Amino acid sequence: MPEIIDQIFVLLKHWLMGYVPSLLKPVVSAILSVVPVLLAFPLLFAITTVLERKGLGRMQNRYGPNRVGPFGFLQPMADGIKSLTKEDIIPRTADHLVHLLAPVVIVIASFLVYAVLPIGRNMVIANLNAGVLFFFAVGSMVELSVFMAGWSSRSKYSLLGAMRAIAQMISYEIPLVLASIVVIMAAGSLSTVTIVNLQATYTGIFPHWYVFTPWGLTGFIIFMIAATAESNRCPFDLPEGESEIIAGYYIEYSGFKFALFFLGEYLGMFATSAMAITLFLGGWAAPFSFLTWIPSYVWFFAKLLALICAFIWIRGTLPRLRMDQLMNFAWKFMLPLSLINIFAAGVWHYMPAGASRWLVVTLVIAVACVLLSRGLRRNQWFHVRTYRFAS
């Protein structure tokens, strides 16, 4: 029975496919596998915006939206209707076509990456041989669309925001890729499906998630930090740093185009989180073998939601970094650390299983961490100060 529930969508699709003339089969099958993604993630976006506003509210001793619809959950709908009916302003000096294309491209790019994300057992749109590479390749299109948005608006703030955004995104893309290399080394495949399948096995009750190794943990942390930066989330939300450059690259966007940027950004955040789950947290695999009766997609979304909550939590707490610190952190800490992590993963591979390799690898990473954070602090040595008082 659990298997049936687990596979219910797959079975449903098969059953539906039975009624489709064979000529149309590939198309219909593709549509059937795409439509759930096109529905689920925008819905998740809607839910997340409310959750975020409510969660932040709770952290700040208030309720957050609770009037619009039950518990405020119709808020995104209202926002959507409002955006839809809002006037669309394009600045006179703007580059109209590029201005229009930018939000479209960002949404497309954000959606495309979901093609390789397995959201459940046997539930993936396309099991590509080079899935992870596809993810990064398509993901990098976002940078271009951000540039398009910032540049075409022809406003100083938007351009500044776009330049910031691109600089930040390209800086964190490298650690993002390098952090995932360790998993690929262990899995021996670029296919996300294979990677998850490998993690969905258990020793005793414990699964083989890559996060449960020293290099996996390091990789996961690097990946998550880089993902935060990639999706412009606090504390890396400099491109739209309200207090500095007002709204960043989408400063001139109104109406639904603005909403599309929002959508794109959140979809990007979900996608990178989902990728982190896929690579390090076992994708749709249950955390304990005795919990496998819970459907795989539930696990996937549960993990995703947990990561989203972490994002919200961090957003509610931290101030944002400065650009130079951000860049230093990427290039002088994250990048070397992820390289060392690859090295550590290599060492792990060549050492015999046992406590010794745990020790050695952990040591390598720890030493690297300490040294690098030293180096980082040398640029700007900060400390908790004590103060004197005038008599």
Partner 1 sequence: MDEQLKSELRRQGVVATSLQELYNWGRKSSLWPLNFGLACCAIEMIATTMARYDLARFGAEVFRPSPRQADLMIVAGTVTKKMAPQVVRLYNQMPEPKYVISMGACAISGGPFKQGYNVLKGIDRYIPVDVYIPGCPPRPEALIDAFLMLQKKIDEQYLTGPTRPRHLNADMPSEFIVPEFGEHDLVPTQNRDVWQVPLVNISNAGKNESGSD
Partner 2 sequence: MLGQGILKGLAETARNFFGSYINKDRLTTVQFPEERLPQIEATRDFPFLVYDGTDWDQGMRCVSCQICEKECPPKCIYIVKSADKKPDATGKPQFYPARFDIDISVCMSCQICVEVCPFDAIKMDVDFELSTTDRFGGLLLNKQQLAKSNEYYNKIHPTEAAAVDAALADERAKADAKLRQAAEAKAAAAAAPPTPPAEKTVVQ
Partner 3 sequence: MTNHPYLPILVLLIGGAGFAIGPLALAWIWAKKFSPQKSGPSKNAVYECGLESKGDAWIKFKPGYYLYAIIFLIFDVEAVFLLPFAVAFGGFTPTQAIDMLVFLLLLVAGLVWACQKKILSWI
Note whether 317 binds partner 1 by CB under 8 A.
no
What residue has token string 């969660």?
55
Q: Which does 205 bind (CB under 5 to 8 A by kind): partner 3, partner 1, partner 2, none?
A: none
Measured distance CA(326)–CA(307) in Å, rounded: 22
Under DSSP, the state recorded for 330 is I
Note whether 242 binds partner 3 by CB under 8 A.
no
Measured distance CA(26)–CA(24) in Å, rounded: 6
Length reported for the chain: 391
Q: Which residues pair with 282 in a beta bridge?
A: none
Among 255, 287, 316, 346, binds partner 1 (CB under 8 A): 255
* C-alpha distance across the termini of the chain, in Å: 78
Interacting positions 85-144 with partner 3 (CB under 8 A):
85-94, 100, 103-104, 107-108, 110-112, 114-115, 125-128, 130, 132-133, 136
Measured distance CA(359)–CA(108) in Å, rounded: 45
Q: Which residues pair with 203 in a beta bridge?
A: 206
Helix 255-280 to helix 296-317 angle (10° resolution) is 120
Among 123, 146, 165, 184, binds partner 3 (CB under 8 A): 184
Q: Show Cβ contacts of residue 63 under 8 Å, excluding neighbours closer than 6 positions.
A: 54, 57
Q: Using the minimum distance from each CB to partner 3, give the nearer residue, 200 or 247.
A: 247
Measured distance CA(313)–CA(320) in Å, rounded: 14
Show the site string, 224-243: x = touches partner 1 by CB under 8 A, - = not. Answer: ------------------x-
Cα 345–chain centre separation = 23
Number of residues that bind partner 3 (CB under 8 A): 91
Among 43, 205, 318, 371, binds partner 2 (CB under 8 A): 318
Among 9, 253, 266, 284, binds partner 1 (CB under 8 A): 253
Q: Are 106 and 264 within 8 A, CB to CB?
A: yes
| Three-state secondary structure call for residue 123 | strand
Alpha-carbon distance values, 284 to 3, 117, 120 (Å) = 14, 10, 5
Q: Which does 69 bind (CB under 5 to 8 A by kind): partner 3, partner 1, partner 2, none?
A: partner 1
Checking phi first, is residue 122 left (phi over 0); if not, alpha (psi -120 to 50) or beta?
Answer: left
Query: What's the burial of 252, exposed, middle or buried (CB within 10 Å: 0-12/13-18/19+)?
Result: buried
Show the site string, 139-168: x = touches partner 2 by CB under 8 A, - = not. Answer: ------------------------------
Q: Which does 74 bind (CB under 5 to 8 A by kind): partner 2, partner 1, partner 3, none?
A: partner 1
Measured distance CA(25)–CA(19) in Å, rounded: 9
Q: Shortest gap between Cβ of 131 and partner 2 (angstroms)?
A: 32
Q: Is the dihedral of CA 39, 44, 49, 53 positive or negative?
A: positive
Note whether 70 binds partner 1 by CB under 8 A.
yes
Note whether 313 binds partner 2 by CB under 8 A.
yes
Q: Which does 53 bind (CB under 5 to 8 A by kind): partner 2, partner 3, partner 1, none?
A: partner 1
What residue has token string 């020790």?
359
Note whether 274 binds partner 3 by CB under 8 A.
no
Note whether 137 binds partner 1 by CB under 8 A.
no
Q: Which stretch binds partner 3 (CB under 8 A): 63-71, 151-159, 270-278, 366-374?
A: 151-159
Among 317, 356, 379, 380, binds partner 2 (CB under 8 A): 317
Number of residues that bind partner 1 (CB under 8 A): 38
Note whether 316 binds partner 2 by CB under 8 A.
yes
Show the site string, 358-377: x = touches partner 2 by CB under 8 A, - = not. Answer: ---------------x---x
Q: Shortest gap between Cβ of 207 and partner 3 (angstroms)?
A: 20
Binding site for partner 2 (CB under 8 A): 55, 58-63, 313-314, 316-318, 373, 377
Binding site for partner 1 (CB under 8 A): 53, 57, 60-70, 72, 74-75, 77-89, 242, 246-247, 251-255, 258
